[in-house]
């Protein structure tokens, strides 16, 4: 009976983690970040010391390519489909999840994706192992985001640190 109980507990805990259940370390509040939604509380999965990576790019928003260092504009409530790539600064790691942070004038929002893809072009450019899946795709609702101009940051979390990568682009939500 004890074996079944331990297995059941492990399985339930695993499901909670896969669903994005997080406890914010500042407030102690449990924040559930399900893929496909933005929330206004930083998830505790973004833990550890912060370092910067410059190996990232946001390539498209809702299928539109960006012009150099210029962002995109969407209407609040419109789905956000964001594609890009991020590698660790040393080029040897990617995390299973990618977080997208929208930092605005009043609030900061976070979304998560588990969809990682191969990006041979980026791997080749940085001479990174061609099997490392640095690409990501995020599909999220924007209903919770207040209108404003937001700086986009891509984040990865590792066991000993988190890496933030600012690509220098913005998203205007009307």
Q: Phi, psi (5° rounding) for residue 113?
A: -135, 145
Q: What is the CATH number of the domain that holds 84?
A: 2.60.40.10
Please report whether residue 74 resides in a domain: yes
Taking 70 as the pLDDT cut, the residues of the chain under it are: 1-33, 69
Please report whether residue 8 resides in a domain: no
SS3 75: coil
Integer Cα distance of 1 and 47 in angstroms: 36
Please report whether residue 13 resides in a domain: no
pLDDT at 69: 67
Give bridge partners of residue 33 from the DSSP assignment. none
């Amino acid at each position: 009976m004890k074996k079944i109980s331990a297995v059941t507990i492990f399985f339930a805990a695993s499901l909670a983690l896969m669903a994005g259940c997080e406890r914010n370390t500042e407030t102690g509040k449990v924040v559930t970040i399900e893929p496909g939604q933005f929330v206004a509380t930083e998830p505790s999965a973004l833990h550890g010391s912060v370092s910067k990576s410059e190996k990232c790019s946001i390539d498209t928003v809702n299928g539109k390519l960006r012009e150099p260092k210029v962002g995109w504009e969407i209407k609040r409530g419109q789905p956000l489909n964001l594609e890009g790539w991020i590698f660790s600064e040393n080029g040897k790691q990617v995390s299973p999840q990618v977080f997208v942070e929208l930092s605005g004038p009043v609030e900061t929002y976070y979304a998560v994706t588990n969809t990682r893809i191969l990006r041979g072009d980026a791997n080749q450019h940085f001479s990174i192992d061609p099997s490392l899946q640095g690409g990501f795709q995020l599909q999220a609702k924007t209903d919770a985001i207040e209108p404003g101009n937001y700086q986009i940051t891509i984040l990865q979390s590792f066991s000993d640190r988190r890496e933030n990568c600012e690509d220098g682009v913005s998203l205007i939500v009307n």
